[in-house]
Amino acid sequence: MLNNKSYQKRKNAFYKKQDIFYKKKSGFNKGTTIIIGLLFLVGIMIGLVLKEDSKVLDVANILNNDYESETSNYNAGKTTPSRGSSVNEYGSLEEVPDLSDSTVSSTLTKEEIDEIKKIINSDTTGLYTLVNKGNLLSKDYMPDNLVIPNISLVSERINEKNLVSAAMVKDLEKMFYDAQVEGMNLFLSNGFRGYESQVYIYNEEIQNKDSNHSEYVAKPGESEHQLGLAIDITSSDMAFELNQSFENTKEGAWALENAYKYGFILRYTKTKEDITGYKYEPWHYRYVGNKTISKLCHDKGLTLEELLDYAKSE
């Protein structure tokens, strides 16, 4: 048997071991708790990310479904504009002609299209004659009734470039006069230009640019200046030159906003270079005469090519 002293010694040793064991156990539990807590937080963060991803996917699916629905409605329509589409406030397509080979980009109402057809198809004056890289004039073409208008001119009065078609004189003179009343001093830089003159300036442009083509000067036969229905406008602020900065002058801004009121359209617009074949020319205006037509071009951003496509539509 153990005496009291030996028993007490063994008892103390036992409890000491137990104390060490529980301390270790306690330390283990604390570490485990921290790790579990961290894992829990990571789980929450992952859940939030997945939730946001789900929202993004839901939005993407909604947009995709809307696009497919709109495309389905568009394809189911009876008419299809060849360049772009337009859905009205009621969610349906505007009535436009099916111009599969056309470059028409603006949507017109049926009434506007009928008006275009009526005016252009009944015209016998040649005001809507199309001249561009695909529709050339012969070197012998010479318009009738060329006159010199009573307006401000850049060149000497007897110069060929001051000639314009008599059909536009009244409207041209009124436009320049009204502009002057409002403090705008417009000058005519170019009007009519014959075939031989076009040969000269085109060759000069090619030589000066050291290139085999020009983005602004048309080849002989491809310029509507030969019709006598095109004008180039400039101002003293431009030092009477022709370049795109004309749009930033008060005269350029005035012409852009008001020329249609006198039967003129901006011939080479900023966003239709692929249609007209030429770079933007804020100085170049074409006379079409009819104010309804010129207003449509101004309001809808139409080119002459697009107008003629509408006129030929079924």
Structural domain includes residue 92: no
Structural domain includes residue 100: no
pLDDT at residue 36, rounded to an integer: 60
Question: Is the per-residue pLDDT at 218 higher than 90?
Answer: yes
**Residues linked to residue 188 through DSSP beta bridges, in sequence order:** 153, 233
Structural domain includes residue 295: no
| Residues 259-299: tens digit of each pLDDT | 999 999 999 999 999 999 999 999 999 999 999 999 999 99
Are 163 and 68 part of one and the same domain?
Answer: no
| Residues 61-82: tens digit of each pLDDT | 433 444 334 333 333 333 222 2
Structural domain includes residue 292: no
Residue numbers of the domain that contains 207: 129-287
Structural domain includes residue 304: no
Domain boundary among 40, 57, 76: 76
Q: Structural domain tally of the chain?
A: 2
| Per-residue tokens: 107 | 């949507």
Structural domain includes residue 222: yes
The amino acid that residue 67 corresponds to is: Y
Are 41 and 174 part of one and the same domain?
Answer: no
pLDDT at residue 51, rounded to an integer: 52
Global pTM value: 0.67
Are 197 and 52 part of one and the same domain?
Answer: no
User: Which CATH number do you get for residue 258?
Assistant: 3.30.1380.10
**Close Cβ partners of 303 (under 8 Å, ≥ 6 residues apart):** 103, 267, 269, 272, 275, 276, 297
pLDDT at residue 62, rounded to an integer: 39
Are 153 and 273 part of one and the same domain?
Answer: yes
Are 134 and 270 part of one and the same domain?
Answer: yes
Are 238 and 174 part of one and the same domain?
Answer: yes
pLDDT at residue 42, rounded to an integer: 60
The amino acid that residue 269 corresponds to is: T
Are 67 and 133 part of one and the same domain?
Answer: no
For residue 133, the 8-state DSSP code is T
Structural domain includes residue 87: no
Q: Which residue has the higher pLDDT, 179 or 217?
A: 179
| Residues 7-33: tens digit of each pLDDT | 555 555 545 544 544 444 444 455 555
**Close Cβ partners of 154 (under 8 Å, ≥ 6 residues apart):** 187, 188, 189, 234, 240
Question: Is the per-residue pLDDT at 102 higher than 60?
Answer: no
Are 150 and 267 part of one and the same domain?
Answer: yes
Structural domain includes residue 206: yes
Are 17 and 146 part of one and the same domain?
Answer: no
Are 270 and 184 part of one and the same domain?
Answer: yes
pLDDT at residue 13, rounded to an integer: 56
* Rounded to 5°, angle at Cα 225 from 119 and 120: 10
Are 136 and 282 part of one and the same domain?
Answer: yes
Mean of all residue pLDDT scores within the chain? 78
Are 59 and 170 part of one and the same domain?
Answer: no
For residue 153, name the pLDDT band (cuts at 50, 70, 90).
very high
Domain boundary among 52, 76, 100: 76
pLDDT at residue 65, rounded to an integer: 44
